[in-house]
């Protein structure tokens, strides 16, 4: 209850500020993401996500961890760790002025790739209305990535954006989920941002077919390049000690994780790992 009161006050306070002087500044919208990595199991993963909006120029959606890493890279040249599974990466860059959306992927070797999202969001705005936190919201539906999504947006924040690729409704998306309840995004906090947004470059552009080949090659031997380098490989044994791992065990473990946790948002591009 206390958390909900804080959330309601935070959103209400921002709404009051927004109408007065926020337009033209950067804004930060925090979302809670809950998703099922394995559609056959009930277990979920929760992530703290950030949507940074630079007025009408661009927006960047990523995890809180990735946002910190991007800032560190800008300041020091070195970032934080990367996720081993591509299916768990939700980094999206929207060039709002050009109506361009790119999904950004980073490998464990710090290589960056991007996929241009050409799938059109054909929204159906419904008459049903409700209230979430302090905001009056309206219902909308869309199909994206082979999933049917239900969104709730508010015109009280006239920003046509939202989590992940979702945008172009007549207001900010406060909540959105798919009909299988595999993915749920919920707005949790709003605040003013800094003057500059630090984010990844686009990297090498891939088509979905090229991304499929990249994923399959990585799955076939996730540590191939690491093993071929000849450099000593160390991992944490769980007690803070660096030990030399059994690479066959590590490879089999990673391949199992990739194969079993294969529930991407773009289910129409799901890869059949063998």
Band of pLDDT at residue 231, cut at 50, 70 and 90: low
Q: Please indicate, yes or no, whether residues 158 and 43 belong to a single structural domain of this protein.
A: yes
Tell me, yes or no, whether 201 lies in a domain.
no
Q: Please indicate, yes or no, whether residues 88 and 174 belong to a single structural domain of this protein.
A: yes
Q: Please indicate, yes or no, whether residues 70 and 142 belong to a single structural domain of this protein.
A: yes
Q: Which domain holds residue 248?
A: 208-269
How many C-beta atoms lie closer than 10 Å to residue 255's C-beta?
Answer: 16
Partnered with residue 139 across adjacent β-strands are 152
Tell me, yes or no, whether 202 lies in a domain.
no
Strands 112-116 and 204-206 come out as parallel
Final residue before a domain boundary, out of 159, 192, 225: 192
CATH number of 59's domain = 2.50.20
Looking at every residue in the chain, the average pLDDT score rounds to: 88
Band of pLDDT at residue 19, cut at 50, 70 and 90: very low
240 vs 34, more confident = 34
Q: Please indicate, yes or no, whether residues 158 and 94 belong to a single structural domain of this protein.
A: yes
Tell me, yes or no, whether 257 lies in a domain.
yes
Q: What is the pTM of this model?
A: 0.88
Position 191 pLDDT exceeds 80? yes
Q: What's the CA gap between 90 and 153, in Å, rounded?
A: 21
Q: Give exposure, 88-100, as e/b (b: 16+ Cβ within 10 Å).
A: bbbbbbbebeeee
Position 2 pLDDT exceeds 70? no
Tell me, yes or no, whether 91 lies in a domain.
yes
Tell me, yes or no, whether 203 lies in a domain.
no
Q: Please indicate, yes or no, whether residues 147 and 249 belong to a single structural domain of this protein.
A: no
Q: Please indicate, yes or no, whether residues 170 and 222 belong to a single structural domain of this protein.
A: no
Tell me, yes or no, whether 48 lies in a domain.
yes
Q: Please indicate, yes or no, whether residues 163 and 223 belong to a single structural domain of this protein.
A: no
Poorest-confidence range of 26-35, 119-128, 164-173, 194-203? Answer: 194-203
The pLDDT, as a whole number, for residue 228 is 81
Nearest residue to 44 via CA among 150, 149, 183, 174: 183
Q: Please indicate, yes or no, whether residues 142 and 176 belong to a single structural domain of this protein.
A: yes
Tell me, yes or no, whether 28 lies in a domain.
yes
Domain count within the chain: 2
- For residues 165 and 101, is the Cβ–Cβ distance under 8 A? yes
Final residue before a domain boundary, out of 157, 192, 227: 192
Q: What's the CA gap between 10 and 244, in Å, rounded?
A: 48
Final residue before a domain boundary, out of 160, 192, 224: 192
Q: Please indicate, yes or no, whether residues 56 and 188 belong to a single structural domain of this protein.
A: yes
Q: Please indicate, yes or no, whether residues 213 and 264 belong to a single structural domain of this protein.
A: yes
Band of pLDDT at residue 75, cut at 50, 70 and 90: confident
Tell me, yes or no, whether 32 lies in a domain.
yes
The pLDDT, as a whole number, for residue 105 is 96
The pLDDT, as a whole number, for residue 134 is 92
Q: Please indicate, yes or no, whether residues 187 and 252 belong to a single structural domain of this protein.
A: no
Q: Please indicate, yes or no, whether residues 165 and 220 belong to a single structural domain of this protein.
A: no
């Amino acid at each position: 209850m206390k958390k909900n009161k804080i959330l309601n006050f935070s959103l209400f306070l921002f709404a009051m500020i927004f109408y007065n002087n926020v337009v033209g500044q950067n804004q930060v919208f925090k979302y809670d993401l809950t998703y099922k990595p394995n559609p056959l199991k009930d277990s979920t993963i929760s992530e703290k996500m950030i949507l940074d909006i630079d007025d009408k120029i661009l927006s960047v959606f990523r995890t809180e961890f990735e946002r910190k890493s991007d800032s560190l890279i800008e300041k020091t040249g070195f970032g934080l760790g990367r996720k081993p599974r591509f299916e768990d990466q939700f980094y999206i860059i929207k060039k709002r002025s050009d109506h361009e959306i790119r999904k950004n992927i980073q490998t464990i070797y710090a290589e960056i790739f991007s996929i241009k999202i050409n799938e059109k969001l054909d929204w159906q705005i419904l008459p049903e209305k409700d209230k979430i936190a302090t905001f009056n919201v309206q219902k909308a539906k869309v199909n994206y990535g082979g999933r049917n999504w239900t969104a709730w947006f508010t015109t009280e924040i006239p920003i046509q954006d939202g989590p992940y690729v979702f945008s172009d409704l007549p207001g900010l998306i406060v909540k959105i989920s798919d009909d299988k309840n595999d993915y749920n995004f919920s707005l949790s906090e709003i605040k003013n941002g800094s003057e500059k947004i630090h984010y990844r470059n686009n990297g090498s552009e891939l088509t979905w077919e090229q991304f499929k080949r990249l994923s399959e090659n990585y799955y076939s031997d996730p540590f191939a390049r690491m093993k071929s380098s000849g450099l000593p490989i160390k991992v944490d044994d769980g007690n803070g000690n660096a030990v030399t791992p059994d690479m066959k065990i590590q490879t089999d473990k990673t391949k199992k994780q990739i194969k079993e946790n294969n529930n991407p948002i773009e289910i129409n591009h799901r890869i059949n790992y063998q």
